Structure 1
Amino acid sequence: MNPTIDSRFHGYLDLEGIRDRITVRPQPVDDLQRYRQLGADVLSSQLKKIYLPTQFSLDFIHEMLGRANLHHREIFSNQVTYNSGIFNPPINENFPICLTGLAGVGKSRTIQALLSALPPPVELSCGLFQGVVELSSFWYASARGKTSGKQILLDFLVASGKDRRKASYATVTELLDACRSIANRHGVSTAVLDEMQFISTGEGASRVTDILINAANIGMPLIFVSNYSLIHKLWDRNSEDTQRLLAEPRIMLPDDPTSQDWLNYVGECIRVSGDRVDADHGEFAAELYRSTAGLKRLVIQLLKHSYTHCFNAGRDRIQLVDLYDAYRSSQYKASASLVENLQKLAISKGNMRTHADLECPFGTPAEFRPGVVSSIDTKRAENVRNQVIDSALTPQEARALEGLLEDGVSASKIPKSRRTATPPRASANDLVRNFGKHVEKVRSPTKPK
């Protein structure tokens, strides 16, 4: 139809080109000491900007770009098809892509990377209408704060420049017809519904099902993003719904603790922090994984609290003891409970019914479980070994070790609170004397009648 249309996705499907466009490496933070207590917030804000695509994220984004390219070619296959899509849009059944994973694993950030990897808007002029129309690569809507599917569909129309206040549609069917027509007119190649679990708060899965099916019926490739909690509810729907909504899952798991993706991410966090880590990087990465279960949101949270403990101790570089203190702090208590439940779930092989929201409804891949369990077993063996060594110390050696720990020297023992001293055992004379005092107190001053 037009050279602009034919070359729209040219150069956007190369894997290395995708990696270069979506990778974000922020500048290291400067002197945090001058921010005083706010230094932890400055560090956290800079860490949130990091985005290093994992192999899963790169493959997912590449696949979605390919689907968008195919839909784009279908819309603009010829002038007749384009005109028909505007004035008489077809109703096509479309199975949405379900991107799911644990909260904090990086789903929404991956969606942001996908949107940035799509071609930017361009202007199209054609004999069908006067002037030009802006072609958009995507429609995006978040379910946070939404109570109906109509609000989400209106968000789609706003993305194409339509004024929400002037959009008046009596029924959802009319609104869907308008979405189909406008989507074809603007060449929208993909649609994203983010944070769908929020729309299920206090609602049954029926409303979410209606919203997803209506959005999928617009005709373009649709991606909906959700935590495991919503997917468990959708599993209880009738087969005609689950066959449509759960037929194309993409499960985003935390990085393997031994993978290069995880080591690269921790190394980038250390670089962005201004190299404010006073520990072996391999040991630091392993301890960070055990304390966060590999969830990027928890990594940023724990590093923030670790720097707070580091600053309060009068230091400028984070040590392993700061990770231990931050993990046991009241600010991280809820996250620590989540991490421990995930570790129990990995060890028990998915038998914790009380924490079904932490278990993947589609099943955890077998190749992911051994790395996580191995990390837990390694830490357990290390703790047992340290307890054996500590129990064999003489009193003089134990006091010397406590002095070394207070001086900040690396040691195998994790600092812990001192136990309360045991009271001395009472002698036989003490027991007789105390019993006599007790009898004098309870003796009646008058004789009984």
Structure 2
Amino acid sequence: MNEIIKSRFSGCLDIEQIRERITVKPDAVNALGGMDAMIAAEIFSGALKQIYLPNDFSLTFIKEMVTKASLYSQKLFSNEVEYISRIYNPPDVEVAPVCLTGLAGVGKTQTIAALRKVLPRPVDFACDHFEGNLQLISHWYASARGKAGGRQMLSDFVLGDQKSTSHNAAKLLVECRRRANRDGVSLLLLEETQYINTGQGASRVTDILLTLAAIGPPMVFVSNYSLLHKLLRRNSEDKQRLLSEPRIMLPDDPDSQGWRNYIAECLRVSGGHMQGSVDDFAQEIYRSTFGIKRLAVQLLKQAYVEARDAGRECLTLSDINRAYRSPFYGSNQRDVEELHLQAIQGRRAGSRLDLCCPFELPIAQKSNVVAFARADRDNRVIAKVFDSALNESERAAMEHIESATSETARPTKAPRAPRLPKASDEDLASAFHQFVESMPPPKPKKPR
């Protein structure tokens, strides 16, 4: 229709441009040693949370969704007559939404935030049918947390903060279609669907998803495994509409360049407060987090606290292990051990559904994780056998070597001041009399 429509999605489909636009490398923290340990740990974890290095899955997913939005925009603005017709007589269509799923903390929310950065910003659009300019919006974004149903979601899109009881669900849906066609909305994004899990949670989220899918533009909804297991128990007509296009986001492989780059970025952001090689940290952190980056941030935060409690300003691999065993990481530790067990043994009776992917994964996607988990188990068994084979003198020698190593890594502390000698009864009595004599004389009371 005009140059604005043709160039609307230009520059949004190149992988390298997408990577450059969404990569976040925060400034390194410094001078944490002079702060309180808990304050310094919060600053450290805050900087780690800002890191976003998109992996191949995220880049491919973002490009796919932007491509869907671009194709829909071209169809919507194919000619002026078709565009005006869609506003006054919106077609009754229903799309199959894309389901972005994965373990909690794996990076789904960050990927959606990155996708929103890539999508075009609002632009002014001139059409002879309207007086003045319209503002074209590339996408609608909403969170399903706390939403009562599809009607409330439609009302939020159309009415915003205005509350009205005169609109039923059918009228709201038609108005949403008109508004979406008029404003050029080319993608719908719905997050946090897994929080609709109380009462009739699966029925409620099904209602919301099917209602939004009936608006017309391509749609993406984000969910953890726990909700998808519930949706898989729905009737076939619901499953065919909602779960036909899953996109499964897995943690990075332990030996992948993406995971190594992430750990290297954590070392850079630490500003020298992490001492050790990238490879050693990559192996130890993966073993303690299963590659889940939200857990990696929590683990490094607690490891820094452990290092400060030990009198050091820099954390090492030993602090990672202590943080993993600490009560602050206890609930995550059980999840990680369950994930490693599932990687080795597969899905079994009694497996936690929130940690099990509801879809069968290709063997190629699981092989590296399984190899890492089995190698880690073999190494632990070898270490246990070696330790049990030591005699008393050999065990004492190993303990001496380990203690000497930890002492050399720990900085020398200033010697404690000598304790004061215990005061005698005469000293206490003399100090009491001196204190009484130093007190000012009491003021006389006023007569009643």
Partner amino acid, structure 1, of 2:374: D
Amino acid at match of 1:9: F
Root mean square deviation, CA, Å: 1.7
Which position in structure 2 is the counterpart of 1:65? 66
Q: 1:184 and 1:228, CA in 2 relative to 1: closer, same or farther beyond 3 A? A: same
Q: Which amino acid aligns with 2:205?
A: V
- Please state if 1:308 is matched with 2:309: no
Give 1:166 deviation, angstroms: 5.0
Contact 1:136 1:187 in 2 (8 A): yes
1:19 aligns with 2:16: no
Task: Tell me how far apart the structure 1 counterparts of residues 219 and 337 of structure 2 sit (CA, whole Å).
Answer: 35
**Aligned 1:113-124 pairs, distance under 5 A:** 113-124=114-125
Unmatched 5+ stretches in structure 2: 409-448
Q: Is the 8 A contact 1:44 1:304 kept in 2?
A: yes
Distance 1:77 1:169 in 2: 35
Name the counterpart of 2:3.
3
User: 1:61 corresponds to which letter in structure 2?
Assistant: I
Q: Deviations over 1:281-303 (max 9, x none)?
A: 21210111110011111010100
Out of 197, 207, 210, the position equivalent to 2:204 is 207
- The structural deviation recorded for 1:354 is 3.8
- Distance in 2 (CA, whole Å) between partners of 1:394 and 1:234 is 57
Deviations 1:334-390 (A, max 9, x none): 000000111111112111444122111111221122212222222222223323333
In the alignment, the residues of structure 2 paired with residue 410 and residue 261 of structure 1 have an alpha-carbon distance, to the nearest angstrom, of 35
What is the DSSP-based 3-state SS (H/G/I as helix, E as strand, rest coil) of the residue aligned with 1:82? helix
CA contact (8 A) 2:343 2:366 kept: yes
Q: Look up the match of 1:429.
A: none
1:220 and 2:217 matched: yes
Amino-acid identity (%): 50
The one-letter amino acid of 2:31's match is D
**Cα deviation, residue 151, structure 1:** 2.4
Q: Is 2:358 the counterpart of 1:361?
A: yes
Give the conservation status (yes or no) of the 8 Å contact 1:154–1:164.
no
Task: Say whether the 8 Å CA contact 2:344–2:374 is kept in structure 1.
Answer: no
Tell me which residue corresponds to 1:46: 47
Q: Deviations over 1:217-268 (max 9, x none)?
A: 0000000100111111111111111111011110001111111111111111
What's the counterpart of residue 178 of structure 2? 181
C-alpha separation in 2, matches of 1:143 and 1:407: 55
Q: Give, in whole Å, the separation in 2 of the partners of 1:268 and 1:190.
A: 32
In structure 2, the residue matched to 1:131 is 132
Distance 1:354 1:318, change over 3 A: same
- Please give the alpha-carbon distance, in whole angstroms, between the structure 2 residues aligned to 1:156 and 1:108: 21
Supply the distance in 1 between the matched residues of 2:124 and 2:404 (Cα, whole angstroms). Answer: 66
Partner of 2:444: none
| Cα shift at 1:401 | 2.8
- Cross-structure match for 1:96: 97
SS at match of 1:146: coil
Residue number in structure 2 paired with 1:443: none
CA distance in 2, matches of 1:41, 1:407: 32
What is aligned with 1:294?
291
Give me the whole-angstrom Cα distance separating, in 2, the residues matched to 1:163 and 1:229.
30
Flag the 1:34–1:202 CA change in 2: closer, same or farther, 3 A: farther
Q: Deviations over 1:285-322 (max 9, x none)?
A: 01111100111110101001000001111112211110
Structure 1 counterpart of 2:263: 266
Cα distance between partner residues in 2 of 1:347 and 1:389: 23
> Where does residue 395 of structure 1 map in the other structure?
392
Deviation at 1:62, TM superposition (A): 0.3
Q: Structure 1: which 5+ runs fail to align? A: 412-449
Deviations 1:51-77 (A, max 9, x none): 111101000000000000011111111
The corresponding residue for 1:435 is none
| Cross-structure match for 2:231 | 234
> d(CA) in 2 for partners of 1:145 and 1:336?
30
SS of the residue 1:276 aligns to: coil
Evaluate the alpha carbon distance shift between residue 114 and residue 100 of structure 1 in structure 2; reply closer, same or farther with a 3 A threshold: same
Partners of 1:19 and 1:58 within 8 A in 2? yes
Report the 3-state secondary structure (helix = DSSP H, G, I; strand = E; otherwise coil) of the residue aligned with 2:357.
coil
CA distance in 2, matches of 1:294, 1:87: 50
1:129 deviates by 1.8
Name the SS of the counterpart of 1:290 in structure 2: helix
Q: Matched residues in 1 for 2:389 and 2:211: separation?
A: 68
8 A contact 1:121–1:137 mirrored in 2: yes
In the aligned structure 1, how far is the partner of 2:398 from the partner of 2:29? 35
Check the 8 A contact 2:343/2:373 in 1, yes or no.
no
3-state DSSP of counterpart to 2:63 = helix
When structure 1 is superposed on structure 2, of 4-13 and 195-204 the one drifting more is 195-204
Corresponding residue for residue 276 of structure 1: 273
Question: Which residues in structure 2 correspond to 1:402-441 (within 5 Å)?
Answer: 402-409=399-406
Q: Secondary structure at the match of 1:332?
A: helix
Residue 141 of structure 1 corresponds to which residue in structure 2?
A: 142
Match for 2:91: what amino acid?
Answer: P
Q: Does the CA contact (< 8 Å) of 1:169 and 1:175 recur in 2?
A: no
Aligned pair count reads: 407
Mapped contact 1:122–1:135 kept (Cα < 8 A): yes
Structure 2 CA distance for aligned equivalents of residues 150 and 310 of structure 1: 52
Cα 1:367–1:172 change in 2 (3 A) is same
- The answer (yes or no) to whether the contact 1:266–1:285 under 8 Å persists in 2 is yes
In structure 2, the partner of 1:350 is 347
Question: Does the 8 Å CA contact 1:140/1:156 hold for their aligned counterparts?
Answer: no
1:100 is paired with a residue whose SS is strand
Please, what TM-score do these two structures have when normalized by structure 2? 0.87
Residues 165-208 of structure 1 deviation map (CA, whole Å, 9 limit, x = unaligned): 25554311111111111111110110101010111233242221
